[in-house]
Chain A
Amino acid sequence: MKSEELCYLTIAEAAAGLRRKDFSPVELTAALLKRIESVDGRLHCFITLTGDQALRQAQQAEQELGSRKDCGLLHGIPIALKDLYMTENIRTTCHSAVLENWVPDHDATVVMKLREAGTILLGKLAMHEFAFGGPSVDAPFPAARNPWNTDHIPGGSSSGSGAALAAGLCYGALGSDTGGSIRTPSSHCGVVGIKPTYGRVSRYGVVPLSWSLDHAGPMARGVEDCAILLQAIAGYDVKDPASANADVPDFSSGLRREINGMRIGVPRARWFDENLGVDRQTEALFDQALKTLEKLGATISEIDGKPFSMARKANQTILVCEAYAYHERRFQEAPEKFGSSVRRRMLEGGFLSAADYINAQRARTALNEEIGENFSQVDVFATPSAPRPPEAFATMDPNEQNLRPSFTNPFNLTGLPAISVPCGFTRENLPVGLQIVARWFDEATAFRVAYAYEQATEWHKQRPEL
């Protein structure tokens, strides 16, 4: 098998190949490291590469699989982490000068779980500084670029995770999502990412942006791979106060079930046309995706988008207040250490009152109820994952995101599980994503609908030319 073909295997394919001895974990790891060396100078996905350690872990996995100590589907699979997951003895920067040389003395819970599952860590990935703002032009590390067109942003804040997957530089990655930071780069890079239900995955050892909105979750090149990764990292963690003591189902077992009769709600009215509205090509691809879902047996109905539209306002208010509270001392002592983009956005939280924050949390209660009531009529919601395709770095307008509907924010506010799956390309060959949102703790249904759509289309098989 050619080196590039090896790099673009899915986790499920790589796991099967390892057990057939078609290739070894060392060969997979070496192929990826070679590709990283060849293309990452243009993409800037990695902040820290842990190549030597990865090869040692690969040798160990090879021995273990050879001696029939099999930890499961992720054993011997190379992955990478957004650089806000704490990693023992490996620098964790949050893409910021503030933490440029910080080396944690312990792993995040999910990092430990992935290690126990036998994964191989290739390195730490670029992101938006502290998972907020936009691509950093004044950070100590370059901003990741979109493999589909390096003049364009990969989306964020898990920018390196999306770009590395699209470029075939790892088989799976972790992102984090406070307002769309897993789903937006998944959409912009043509890969799959799920923000699980709030509390499903431990955030212990994940540098916070906003405690009540932060979600940890996986990204990969296919729905099945995301299910495999979520299986490994989900579950109660006593160290995370928001962790839910809920049963973790088998996320892969229902993937191949039909979606005949699935009721899909589209909250278009009073949301999609907000301010500048949705980009026309994006909405056309989204409508095409709905037709595909209908052909698969789902029924589509329109629901009121107003509460979803209001949710962004509450999400943003809570986010800036909590983010500012976390960084307050740093802003008082050395604000110049933050990049201009994150500083401008986070400082807004310093000028809102306690009553403003509490009222946003009260609005959250009301909006949660209103949005949740829709589940008496529909099984899932569908929206585009992002209101427009990835912008070019040169013409990017940081204010524009406030002038278009945010399709991701409402599901951080509500904590509902939401997945982004590729649903086509614009005329400029830039990817567009479809978002499927399920009931609380029903990631399995989000996976099932996304998988049915993915398998009925060819979008996930496209690769960028690098």
Chain B
Amino acid sequence: MANGQITLDELRNMARQAGLKLSDDELQRLLPGINRSRKQVAELRAIVSLETEPAISFKRPRAQQK
């Protein structure tokens, strides 16, 4: 996974682990988009500091809220 980019072989393994039955043709079509997504994630990682929390929070079930 050089520079976060993956190869077709790596994608095939990941698909198997995810329980996805996809042909090599389909995996080949998916690969550019997946590598673009992974590049985007790397760029996003660069703009968050260690103190930045995710924009998600746990909510108690409504029945327990006053």
Contacts and interface: CB of A to CB of B under 8 A. Distances in A.
A344 interface: yes
A445 B59 CA distance: 31
A241 B60 CA distance: 10
Given A313-B43, A317-B40, A351 B11 contact: yes
Contacts of A361: 54-56
A292 interface: no
B47 A310 contact: yes
A362 interface: yes
Contacts of A350: 15, 18, 20
> Which residue, of B15, B30, B62, has the highest number of chain A Cβ atoms within 10 A?
B30
A193 B19 CA distance: 40
B44 A314 contact: yes
B37 A320 contact: yes
Contacts of A212: 55-56
B60 to A, nearest CB: 11
A363 B44 CA distance: 6
Contacts of A238: 62
Interface string A301-337: 0000000001001101100100000000001100100
Interface in A397-431: 402
A366 interface: yes
Nearest to B33: A348
Interface string B42-66: 0111011100111110010010000
A345 B30 CA distance: 8
A348 B30 contact: yes
Contacts of A365: 48, 52-55
B54 A362 contact: yes
Contacts, number: 89
A345 B34 CA distance: 9
Interface string A367-379: 1100000000000
Contacts of B15: 350-351
A345 B32 CA distance: 11
Nearest to B50: A362
B13 to A, nearest CB: 11
Contact of A313 (B18, B19, B40): B40
B41 interface: yes
A89 interface: no
A229 interface: no
Given A331-B20, A335-B21, A348-B30, A313 B44 contact: yes
B8 interface: no
A347 interface: yes
B47 to A, nearest CB: 6
A118 to B, nearest CB: 31
A317 B37 contact: yes
A356 interface: yes
A49 B38 CA distance: 42
A344 B40 CA distance: 17
Interface in B1-22: 6, 11, 14-15, 18-22
B3 to A, nearest CB: 15
A81 to B, nearest CB: 28
Contacts of B6: 351
B14 A351 contact: yes
A269 interface: no
Contacts of B43: 310, 313
Nearest to A347: B30
A352 B41 contact: yes
B48 to A, nearest CB: 4
Nearest to A367: B47
Interface in A344-360: 344-345, 347-348, 350-352, 356, 358-360
A75 interface: no
Interface of B: 6, 11, 14-15, 18-22, 29-30, 33-34, 36-38, 40-41, 43-45, 47-49, 52-56, 59, 62
7 contacts: A332-B20, A335-B20, A347-B30, A350-B18, A352-B41, A359-B48, A362-B44
Interface of A: 212, 238, 241, 310, 313-314, 316-317, 320, 331-332, 335, 344-345, 347-348, 350-352, 356, 358-368, 402
**Which are the 9 A-B pairs with shortest beta-carbon distances?**
A361-B54, A363-B44, A364-B55, A313-B40, A362-B48, A356-B41, A332-B19, A362-B52, A365-B55
